[in-house]
Amino acid sequence: MSLLDIIHQDAHIVVVNKPSGLLSVPGRGPDMQDCVVNRLRKMMPHCMEQPSVHRLDMDTSGLQLLALQPEGQRRLCLQFQEHEVRKLYYALIEGVVAEDSGTIELAFRLDPDNRPFQVHDPVQGKTGITHWRNLGLQDGQTVVEFEPRTGRTHQLRLHAAHERGLGFPIVGDRLYGTGTAPGQLRLHSGLLDFKHPHSGLPMVFKNRPAWLRL
């Protein structure tokens, strides 16, 4: 089990740069135990048992916030629930997106016959809202900045790939695109903006993915 790339650490919180292909939390079975949470607990034995504040998909890389103490976790989770945390993601899209910016609103839900795949369902689905901005072309593919206003499962991946979204999947997406292996997804959590759970001071962390050259 490898160590974590720690961006920030104090007595209350830890911000890590999660690599693509690593789980955020433990999965089922002994082969699904290597994750951000277990690596953090190994590095910091004083950490609470379940320090997760939010999760990134296994194939998504970038900034992830964790709490070391229960009260701090409660306050941070409340910020996420109240949509007080600003998040930005970088994505490399399989195609040329013509528009400069926009907002995607799509309702979707889990497909129980094809887990964990999400499907568009305007009747029974829950609406996900994403603002996006076109940052330009890189090797014939579009770099997009996503700002999710909700936190639905696979929201950005589905909003990119669906015909009512951008119409092109994210490069390396194994579920909604042409990706074939872990670690290929070009989706990166590049900014977290929140209030410190103890001091209340604003905390802003930025991190660019290695693949971004613009």
Q: What is the mean pLDDT of each run of 10 residues along the chain (214 residues)?
A: 89 97 91 93 93 95 97 96 96 97 96 91 95 98 97 94 97 93 93 98 97 95
Residue 1: the pLDDT is 58
CB-hemisphere CA count at 13 Å for 7? 20
> What pLDDT shows up at residue 181?
85
Q: Looking at the annotation, which residues are catalytic?
A: 57
Q: Shortest CA distance to 100 belongs to which of 50, 140, 143?
A: 143
pLDDT in tens, 76-87: 999 999 999 999
How much is the pTM? 0.94
Provide the greatest CA pair distance for the chain: 50
